[in-house]
A and B are shown apart, each in its own frame.
Chain A
């Protein structure tokens, strides 16, 4: 079993849709959590950190449930430019584990 599991996708949604990605992790000692986005043939870029209290950045909302070892990302009012692969990342003292990614395509 992989340490970080994500929805396999792909997700194909129309512009303006709301889409949610889920991620589970197996190491309960994990300390910090992130969502990255990766465009085709590019490097991963930090989208947002994820906190237990939940956090929002514009159209993006991230949630962490430590008890269930579950992380989520919600994207509201999807834009064409949101098309990318979204990576769930779990970190424990420099041991950063990545999910395999969920691919999102937003269509006009």
Chain B
């Protein structure tokens, strides 16, 4: 399995609080992604990174920010959590454009 670790694996937080999810890889892949998965929607891209300090928005980026200060770490921050951000969040890594992605085990986030 690809060396991807997400933390925390489960989190319950209150509406209005900031939350940061961490993705750590040991594969030295250039591309890293954050997705959310909700019933009936499949996985949707939030943000991605194509290098250190290089990030771009995905399909559902509102309310989220990311940072990548090192190749191995990609952080996802919910600036002020809302109930609509209750979801399962997956980090993924890839080697290049149009290549397959490998996923971490996911973080189950509940906003109450």
Contacts and interface: CB of A to CB of B under 8 A. Distances in A.
B58 A95 contact: yes
Interface in B28-46: 31, 33, 35, 40-45
Nearest to A49: B100
Interface in A63-92: 87, 91-92
Contacts of A4: 42
Contact of B100 (A43, A46, A100): A46
A17 interface: no
The secondary-structure label for the interface of chain B is strand
Nearest to A95: B45
Interface in A29-63: 31-32, 34, 42-46, 49
B102 interface: yes
Interface residues of B, number: 26
Given A43-B90, A93-B97, A98 B44 contact: yes
Given A95-B45, A100-B40, A42 B105 contact: yes
Given A87-B43, A100-B42, A94 B50 contact: yes
A92 B98 contact: yes
A87 B33 CA distance: 17
A43 B104 contact: yes
Interface string B3-45: 0000000000000000000000000000101010000111111
A4 B31 CA distance: 22
B90 to A, nearest CB: 6
B112 interface: no
Contact of A100 (B41, B99, B104, B106): B41
Contacts of A46: 100-102
Nearest to B50: A94
Nearest to B103: A43
Interface of A: 4, 31-32, 34, 42-46, 49, 87, 91-101
Given A46-B100, A95-B59, 6 more contacts: A4-B42, A42-B105, A45-B103, A91-B99, A94-B50, A98-B35
